[in-house]
Amino acid sequence: MKITNEQVKNMYETMLKIRKFETRAKDLFAEGKVGGFVHLYIGEEAVATGACANLKDNDYITSTHRGHGHIIAKGGDLKHMMAELYQKETGYCKGKGGSMHIADATKGILGANGIVGAGHNIAAGAGLAIQYKKTDQVCVCFFGDASTNQSTFHEALNLASVWKLPVIFVCENNGYGISVSQARHQAITDVSVRASAYNMPGVTVDGNDVFAVHEAVGEAVSRARKGQGPTLIECKTYRWRGHFEGDPTVYRPEGELDIWIKKDPIPKIEKYMVENSIMTKEEIDKKNEDVDKMINEAEKFADESSMPSLKSALEDVYTDIVEEGRVR
Ligand SMILES: Cc1ncc(C[n+]2csc(CCOP(=O)(O)OP(=O)(O)O)c2C)c(N)n1
Ligand SMILES: [Mg+2]
């Protein structure tokens, strides 16, 4: 598939934004400024980036508990994301959701999700809505390897296939469900084989190669836009950090992380751009500075924003009549 220099540069910027946002979030969590549970995506940037580079503003994505990368790649706002991590009133959920509940309906981001496997069926629902409205939109559903053991995965793939829904199922196979390695949680090595049970195409690609992800998802998107139904794409990758910040990662074999750090998708695209005269080393340095500035601004915005008022705890929630601050 033809890819323009502009698209390559945009993908590079997206990967940098994800890496730098998350690296800062990691430090801020350690300082106690970011609260709640934080699951980082560092190392997996090429998946969200390559996939979302095929999408238009009005296309949809569903996300997971490890959602920052998906949200940034689909155009989420760094300031409102950071403010949400800080639990401030300017955050995406007015400070009441945290990392795992960020959504932005204006960008087709149907939400990060703390319930493993919930995104599969939300994506099938979005696909059904698209089909009903007869538009050429698509929905990309991101999920982890372990979530494909949930019934929701099988229900969603079954119906998406029967009804030829415009959904692209993108599995981020990082080799673990929490501390349980893939070999211990499922009797297959390639999640993509599960596509055959639902008579849809299933492919496995190198999830640390942004071009491979972009191409595979691009083909699936064009099939989906033509009404030819869903695809399952498995991207093999690895999370550099623990399952959550604070995870001691004692379950990892020695040397495993080092192998994957050598497969870092970011230096790979930098090398490609320099070799193909898409960006010079100086332009790459400048881009890094620009993204650092964006992250600094997001942090400043979050720092300077106010905490939500006590009163707001009862706003935007489904409840019975509220009288004088008490739920009747
Ligand atoms: C329904 C449900 N069951 C269990 C959990 C606890 N849990 C949180 S993350 C996780 C593992 C997810 O692994 P995977 O789908 O591979 O995604 P990854 O964390 O590797 O990105 C589990 C079991 C949950 N949040 N929701
Ligand atoms: Mg996993």
pLDDT in tens, 59-117: 999 999 999 999 999 999 999 999 999 999 999 999 999 999 999 999 999 999 999 99
Confidence of residue 326 (pLDDT cuts 50, 70, 90): low
Would you state the pLDDT for residue 313?
Answer: 86
pLDDT at 4 over 90: yes
Ligand nearest to the CA of 64: 1
Q: For residue 116, what is the domain's CATH number?
A: 3.40.50.970
Total structural domains within the chain: 1
Confidence of residue 319 (pLDDT cuts 50, 70, 90): low
Question: pLDDT digits over 116-175, tens only?
Answer: 999 999 999 999 999 999 999 999 999 999 999 999 999 999 999 999 999 999 999 999
pLDDT at 316 over 90: no
What distance in Å separates the CA atoms of residue 80 and residue 21, rounded to the nearest whole number? 12
Would you state the pLDDT for residue 317?
Answer: 79
Residues having CB closer than 6 A to ligand 1 are: 65-66, 114-117, 144-147, 172, 174, 176-178, 243
Q: Which residues are within 8 A (CB) of 58 and not within 5 positions of it... i.e. 6 or more apart?
A: 108, 135, 137
pLDDT at 288 over 90: yes
Q: Ligand 1: which of 38, 63, 65 to mutate, judged by most atoms within 8 Å of the beta carbon? A: 65
pLDDT at 323 over 90: no
Mean pLDDT of 202-221: 98
- Which of these ranges, 1-5, 34-38, 169-173, has the smallest mean pLDDT? 1-5
Q: Ligand 1: which of 22, 68, 116, 243 to mutate, judged by most atoms within 8 Å of the beta carbon? A: 116
User: What percentage of the chain has pLDDT greater than the value 90?
Assistant: 94
pLDDT at 2 over 90: no
Would you state the pLDDT for residue 303?
Answer: 97
What spacing in Å lies between the alpha carbon of 145 and ligand 2's midpoint? 5
Tokens 């989420």, residue located: 76
By residue range, what is the domain housing residue 127? 5-327
What spacing in Å lies between the alpha carbon of 144 and ligand 1's midpoint? 8
What distance in Å separates the CA atoms of residue 149 and residue 117, rounded to the nearest whole number? 9
Stated pTM of the model: 0.96
pLDDT at 325 over 70: no
Mean pLDDT of 308-312: 93
Mean pLDDT of 238-256: 98
What spacing in Å lies between the alpha carbon of 60 and ligand 1's midpoint? 22
What spacing in Å lies between the alpha carbon of 224 and ligand 1's midpoint? 28
